Structure 1
Amino acid sequence: MIYNNIVKAVFKNRPNRFIAECSIDNKNIIVHVKNTGRCRELLIKDTEVYLEYFSESSRKTKYDLITVNKNGRLINMDSSAPNKAVYEALHNGKNILNIDEPLTFIKMEQKYKTSRFDIYAETADNKIFIEIKGVTLEENNIVMFPDAPTKRGVKHIMELIDAKENGFDTYIIFVIQMQNPEYFTPNYKTHEEFGKALQYAKSKGIKILAYDCIVTENSINLNNQINIKL
């Protein structure tokens, strides 16, 4: 997954969830933030960031905030990137689901009851729902999700369990938007209900996976499966 027209900048502040003020060559500009999460540990004043530039006159802002340099580690904070990275990996034939049969069909987003899961796929014998969660929160090389309470996330887990009980293969994939963390764990301190729901999902046969990513200034690609501690 490649970004075009990447520009180095310095983060200054974030007036609201959708925009930030950054500086390029000591000139302040307003940029779109492609992540509505808190990201407080990433968006610290004077942190080095990377922006994608757009020339379209119809845009309110000319830049999207894509990547943050956190103490020398590049962290992608584009909330649309995890879904695209997983789809790209599956489309390219990578066996990230750890299954024996090849996929015969893949599509982005599929409605199931009151939820819309991120990816729907099929093998010759099975129908598969995949829910994807992007992870940007890191402390002491341990990565966690969520960084804010997510009732929607709990709802998706419960409907994945329902889909499993109705014959679908079901997955939750945590896409770690950085490289080489020690392991992934639910953020019980921030949202205990989500962590408990994840434990319950595992007991019901939901397959839970986590992958880190190779992140550069202008790209993000799914990398290695990492350990999960529930």
Structure 2
Amino acid sequence: MYKYPKLLRGKFIKRYKRFFADVLMDGEVVTAHNPNTGTMKCIIEEGRDVLLSVSDNPNRKLKYTLEGFLVEDKWVLTNTILMNTVARRGILDGEVAELQTVTALKSEYKYGDGRLDFYGEKGGRRFLAEVKNATLFDEKFCMFPDAVTERGRKHIGLLLEAMAEGYDPYMIYVCQVDRPFFRIASEIDNEYDKALNDAVGQGLNVITVMTDFDMENETVRLVRGGEFKANR
């Protein structure tokens, strides 16, 4: 379980230049950093409640960070960078069933010509894992990605290279909405869909989890996500 620092509530006004968001808070418009580089097409809507965290770092240009939106009476956590920390805490706390009893876990692990989110050891075997935050959805599915992701395809390639060298490879999708199923949004990035399907056929493990956010205590834990459905 991950504990947020103190969170503040406001009303979303607009997003611009990808990384900036204007928020109305206590009658004042403040500008927050938006760490999510995707389109956020299912989330962004003027007037929606949002959560902001506050930094006391005097060297930061923006004091506030956009953490999530209230959608369908559930907080959708949009800080993609923070989801790695949430996933790490969840793995160590045994919240991810497929990765329980982990005996070692390192973040931002350099492998080949890139980096993957985690290196770990479990049951005497080594594994590598990459985390993706999924905020796209319809009535039945939570989906990833919400924009073309060349970087995401590179991560799949790195996991396949690692598998050839004896690592167990995992792709962890953190779903932000409660849906019975998860799939790749092939209509947005067909190449990513093809790459993942090929990798799964070769032995890549797909894990889906969902965030369970407690607003009162400002904590988030991971629970089982929707069933992964490959596109045919």
TM-score, normalising length: structure 2: 0.91
- Which position in structure 1 is the counterpart of 2:126? 127
Deviation per residue, 1:15-52 (Å, 9 max, x gap): 21111111012321111112121113212111111111
Q: Percent identity?
A: 27
More moved, 51-60 vs 185-194: 51-60
- Which position in structure 1 is the counterpart of 2:227? 227
State how far apart, in whole Å, the 2-side matches of 1:52 and 1:16 are: 20
- Which position in structure 2 is the counterpart of 1:184? 182
Corresponding residue SS for 1:134: strand
- Which position in structure 1 is the counterpart of 2:108? 109
State how far apart, in whole Å, the 2-side matches of 1:105 and 1:87 are: 11
The question of whether the paired residues in 1 share the 8 Å contact of 2:95 and 2:223 is answered with: no
**Within the alignment, does 1:87 sit opposite 2:88 as a pair?**
yes
Call closer, same or farther: CA 1:20–1:64 in 2, change over 3 Å. Answer: same
AA paired with 2:20? I
AA paired with 2:21? A
Deviation per residue, 1:160-181 (Å, 9 max, x gap): 1121111111111101124x21
AA paired with 2:12? F
State how far apart, in whole Å, the 2-side matches of 1:124 and 1:211 are: 21
- Which position in structure 1 is the counterpart of 2:161? 162
Corresponding residue SS for 1:104: strand
AA paired with 1:47? R
Any gaps of 5 or more consecutive residues in structure 1? none
**Within the alignment, does 1:205 sit opposite 2:203 as a pair?**
yes
- Which position in structure 1 is the counterpart of 2:44? 43
- Which position in structure 1 is the counterpart of 2:32? 31
State how far apart, in whole Å, the 1-side matches of 2:127 and 2:144 are: 23
Corresponding residue SS for 2:188: coil
Any gaps of 5 or more consecutive residues in structure 2? none
Say how many residue pairs are matched. 227
TM-score, normalising length: structure 1: 0.92
The question of whether the paired residues in 2 share the 8 Å contact of 1:82 and 1:177 is answered with: no
1:98 Cα shift?
5.4
The question of whether the paired residues in 2 share the 8 Å contact of 1:177 and 1:215 is answered with: no
State how far apart, in whole Å, the 1-side matches of 2:21 and 2:228 are: 33
- Which position in structure 2 is the counterpart of 1:96? 97
Pairwise CA RMSD:
1.7
1:88 Cα shift?
1.0
AA paired with 1:146? P
AA paired with 1:193? E
The question of whether the paired residues in 2 share the 8 Å contact of 1:74 and 1:216 is answered with: no
- Which position in structure 2 is the counterpart of 1:5? 6
The question of whether the paired residues in 2 share the 8 Å contact of 1:50 and 1:65 is answered with: yes
Deviation per residue, 1:102-130 (Å, 9 max, x gap): 32211112111112110000135211101
AA paired with 2:165? N
- Which position in structure 2 is the counterpart of 1:171? 170
1:59 Cα shift?
2.3
Corresponding residue SS for 2:166: coil
